[in-house]
Amino acid sequence: MKSVGVAILGFGTVGAGVADCLTRRRGVIASRAGVDVRLVRVADLDTETDRGVALPDGVLGADASAVIADPAVDIVVETIGGTGVAKKFMLDAIAAGKSVVTANKKLLAETGGELFDAAAAKGVDLYFGAAVGGGIPVIRAVRDALAANEFVSIAGILNGTCNYILTRMEKDGLRFDDALAEAQSHGFAEADPTLDIDGFDTAHKICILANLAFGRGTRLEDVEIKGIRGISVEEVAAAARAGGHVKLLGRAALGPDGRVEVTVRPERVPAGALLGCVEGVYNAVEIESEPAGKTVYVGKGAGRNPTASTVAADVCEIARNIARGVVRNV
Ligand code: HSE
């Protein structure tokens, strides 16, 4: 059986989840992928904190550049987040001929084109399944399962923090700030939670989906964004009394002039609608495409394990590509 070496840059919540998944499920992954996927290096400036994941001696170190240069590493998983060193390390990895997996939606939405162009020029893979929808394989659905479809519209609850907040306000009468504090304590929220509550995280994700489905034409600055900051318990309760639910929705749709219109805003979703039933940290994406018609994807949109599941699936697919000597990168 072929063997492929994986490195993780960033040993935080998601990085630790990926390390745990790859090490504990190595046998299952090998049987499904037909490749032995070995975690060989993990880099983080903090090498002391216990993340509850047992790594073999010598795997964890502080020097990301040394990890990228290590010839035993074929795939680099970026779980640092943000748009600073994460981008530099991804470009360094690509330049070194390594395939890359990332869940970094902000970076992809803001400057993804540069990364994809670099990967294509170098002939390596760049996968990003966990950038949208956490544990929901919605990127895989758009790229693969619906590959023969023409897309008409995409609507989604794409931020677990906001959906958690809105659900707790509606079901339990919590005030906005208290519900946000809870979401933060569960680890769903971004380091800067304004990205969640002001709609930017949803904008990053709908932008990525729009570019996948409709072609690379949507820029973040074209998205009309309104978040849920300032929504009151009374407003949420009034929607519930009227038989609906307030949800933060990201939408992308082909307009009559052929332009893709992309919006993020709180909407009142009727109680009977599929998206109206999606509560808590769950995300959902409803896609209208032809010839498939309407398809809906639901699952946990944030959190260590759901995100790690999707990152690990990307690692498996790249490992298979490497074993077959092919590059996907489309
Ligand atoms: N802060 C994000 C959310 C994390 O709440 O959905 C997952 O992208």
pLDDT at 330 over 80: no
Residues linked to residue 251 through DSSP beta bridges, in sequence order: 155, 263
Q: Is 205 a catalytic residue?
A: yes
Residue from 108, 132, 201, 311 to probe ligand 1 pocket by mutation (most atoms less than 8 Å from CB)? 201
Same domain, 71 and 195: no
Same domain, 171 and 116: no
Same domain, 153 and 53: no
Same domain, 26 and 149: no
Same domain, 43 and 58: yes
Same domain, 204 and 276: yes
Q: Judge if the beta carbon of residue 306 lies within 6 A of ligand 1.
A: no
Torsion sign, CA atoms 139, 140, 141, 142: positive
Residue with token string 């544990």: 135
Same domain, 198 and 157: yes
Q: E strands within 211-292?
A: 224-225, 244-254, 260-270, 282-290
Same domain, 154 and 288: yes
pLDDT at 152 over 70: yes
What would the two tokens of residue 112 be?
């993804």
* CATH number of the domain where residue 200 is located: 3.30.360.10
Q: Judge if the beta carbon of residue 160 lies within 6 A of ligand 1.
A: yes
Minimum-distance ligand 1 atom for the alpha carbon of 132: 8
* CATH number of the domain where residue 68 is located: 3.40.50.720
Give domain status of residue 181, yes or no: yes
3-state class of 203 per DSSP?
Answer: helix
Give domain status of residue 329, yes or no: no
- Give yes or no for a contact between 43 and 8, defined as CB atoms under 8 angstroms apart: yes
- Give yes or no for a contact between 152 and 254, defined as CB atoms under 8 angstroms apart: yes
Give domain status of residue 330, yes or no: no
Q: Compute the average pLDDT of residues 238-248.
A: 97
pLDDT at 329: 65
Helix (H) or strand (E) holding 297: strand 293-300
Q: Judge if the beta carbon of residue 201 lies within 6 A of ligand 1.
A: yes
pLDDT at 135: 97
Annotated catalytic residue, options 87, 122, 205, 247: 205
Count of structural domains, the chain: 2
Same domain, 248 and 309: no
Same domain, 129 and 147: no
Q: Judge if the beta carbon of residue 134 lies within 6 A of ligand 1.
A: yes
CA distance 324 to 186: 40
pLDDT at 271: 87
Each residue of 183-223: pLDDT tens digit?
Answer: 999 988 998 999 999 999 999 999 999 999 999 789 999 99
Using DSSP bridges, classify how beta strands 150-157 and 244-254 pair: parallel, antiparallel or unpaired.
Answer: antiparallel
Q: Residue 154 sits in which domain range?
A: 138-300
Cα three-residue angle 325-326-327, rounded to 5 degrees: 135
